[in-house]
Amino acid sequence: MPYPATESESYTYTTLDIEVVARRFTADIVMMAQSSAAITEAKAREYAHDVEALAKEGYLKKVDLTLLSGTIEIRATQYVVSTAAGDLIMSRPGGVMWPRVANPDFRIVLYYTEEYTQTARATMKNKLKIGWVPTDADTSHSTLKVSSNRDYASNAWGMQRKDFAA
103 φ/ψ sector (left φ>0, alpha ψ -120 to 50, else beta):
left
Q: Which residues of 9-29 are buried (b: 16+ CB within 10 A; e: fewer)?
A: eeeebeeebbebbbebbbbbb
Let me know if residue 5 belongs to a domain.
no
- pTM of the complete model: 0.90
Q: Is residue 10 part of a domain?
A: no
For residues 18 and 52, the answer to whether their CB atoms sit within 8 Å is yes
Please say whether the beta carbons of 74 and 68 come within 8 A: yes
Per the structure, how many domains does the chain have? 1
CA distances from 91 to 4, 51, 127 (A): 38, 19, 29
For residue 30, what is the domain's CATH number? 3.30.900.10
Contacts of 87 (CB under 8 A, 6+ apart): none
CA–CA dist 99, 164 (Å, integer): 13
Quick check: is 80 in a domain? yes
Residue 89 lies in a domain: yes
- In tens digits, what is the pLDDT along the chain, a chain of 166 residues? 444 443 444 568 899 999 999 999 999 999 999 999 999 999 999 999 999 999 999 999 999 999 999 999 999 999 999 998 767 666 666 678 999 999 999 999 999 999 999 999 999 999 999 999 999 999 999 999 998 888 999 989 999 999 999 8
The 145-154 sheet, strands edge to edge: 104-112, 60-69, 72-82, 157-165, 145-154
Domain assignment of residue 8, yes or no: no
Domain membership of residue 112 as a residue range: 15-165
